[in-house]
Structure 1
Amino acid sequence: MSESYETPEHKIDEAKDKVIGAIAETMDLYGVTPAAANLYATMYFKDQMTLDEMREELGMSKPSMSTSVRRLQEIEMVKKTFTRGSRKHTYAAEKDFFRSFMAFYCQMWDREVKMNLDAIEEAQEDFIEAIKDPASTPDIVANAKKYYDQLEESKTYYHWLEDLVASIRSGEIFEFLPKDGRD
């Protein structure tokens, strides 16, 4: 049986690599490319990094790096930081998973609500036109009313989703689902 002569630094690096791998692997939930996921996961253990440091650490091309950083900024998982005396842009990863979850999902849900409510409103106007059209048969009118009502009922979900987003942004959700819910 051989004893392990791993240094404490090596053990720390291995531990970080486990978490980096898991974070990077699950980032597809956020619609993040593997390159951007590896970047975020690597940045998670850094205070801040320049684009050059990112490229050096991950061996990525400059265009791939810029695209990845931009995408991570869009979903608020990376922020541009200011370093006094430096002309290079630096970036820091969002380390608060609650904040990154809230920012990402609220953005996606806002988009879902807007797109679908806009489509529903337009479709309902079309159904009303079909209902009022003198050329519509009773079957056409019945179908238009049925579809109109079906869409009207679906609005309940989208309004609930708007309320969910508002409760997340205000922090009210944590009254019902506390962050420290496990003992």
Structure 2
Amino acid sequence: MDKFIQVVAKNMSLYGVNPSIGRLYGVLYFAEEPMTLDDMRDALEMSKTSMSTGVRALSDMKMVEPAFKKGVRKDLYKSEEDWYKSFTTLFGSRWRHHTETNIEEAEETIQELESIASETDDETLKTRIESDIDRLRYAQNYYRWLMRFIHVVESGKIFEFVPKDMN
């Protein structure tokens, strides 16, 4: 299990998730029962503060949720067991943020280039600016398409095109 947990942690780093948070998710996923922060600390030999920060990050990504067990007063947590749901949430939030930033940066750059073009008499520079603006508009079209793709993933419609494997 330790080897697989390490692989999960490594794969989560592809989505910008710290490997220690990935290991925490793996430990929670394979836990028989919901775990307290103390249980997590003991399992991963990390500080309770690190466990708290990790749980909060995983909770924000909807990969961990609070749990209840009668007679237990400490906060308990369990992993989201639906990896399809976890992926769509994680993928969507990470990609949406970066894609929106890219769209905004392209628009700002276009505006700056248009300003430069309006202030120069250099025809070679104007031609180059027009070419660059065309490339930026192409990039914007791609990012708008990517936003639609992200929506398909986040909404779960992706599973109409690529069904879940439920074997």
TM-score normalized by the length of structure 2:
0.86
Give the 3 Å change call, closer, same or farther, for CA 119–25 of structure 1 in structure 2: closer
Aligned position for 1:27: 12
> Once the 2 structures are TM-superposed, how far is the Cα of residue 18 of structure 1 from its aligned partner?
4.8
What residue number does 1:107 align with? 93
1:71-103 CA-to-partner distances (Å, cap 9, x unmatched) read 222332222334566442221111111111111
Aligned to 2:64: 78
- Superposed, 1:113-124 pairs within 5 Å as 113-124=99-110
Q: What letter corresponds to residue 144 of structure 1 in structure 2? A: I
Q: Which sections of structure 1, spanning at least 5 residues, go unmatched?
A: 1-15
| Match of residue 157, structure 2, among 172, 175, 180 | 172
Q: TM-score, normalised by structure 1?
A: 0.79
The one-letter code sitting in structure 1 at the alignment partner of 2:81 is K
Report if aligned partners of 1:72, 1:78 keep a CA contact under 8 Å in 2.
yes
Larger of the two Rg values belongs to structure: 1
CA-to-aligned-CA distance 1:158-182 (integer Å, 9 cap, x gap): 111111111112222212111139x
Range with greater deviation from structure 2 (64-73 or 43-52): 64-73
Aligned length: 166
Deviation digits for residues 43-63 of structure 1 (CA, Å, limit 9, x no counterpart): 002242111111122221122
1:17-166 alignment, distance < 5 Å = 17-46=2-31, 47-83=33-69, 86-133=72-119, 135-166=120-151
Cα separation, 2, equivalents of 1:165 and 1:137:
41
Task: State the distance in 2 between where 1:142 and 1:95 align.
Answer: 55
Q: Which has the higher contact order (CA 8 A, sep 6+)?
A: 2
When the two chains are superposed, the root-mean-square deviation of aligned CA atoms in Å is 2.2
Distance 1:180 1:67 in 2: 32
**Counterparts of 2:18 and 2:151 in 1: how far apart (Å)?**
28
CA contact (8 A) 1:75 1:104 kept: yes
Aligned-residue sequence identity (percent) comes to 37
- Aligned to 1:154, the other structure's residue is in SS state helix
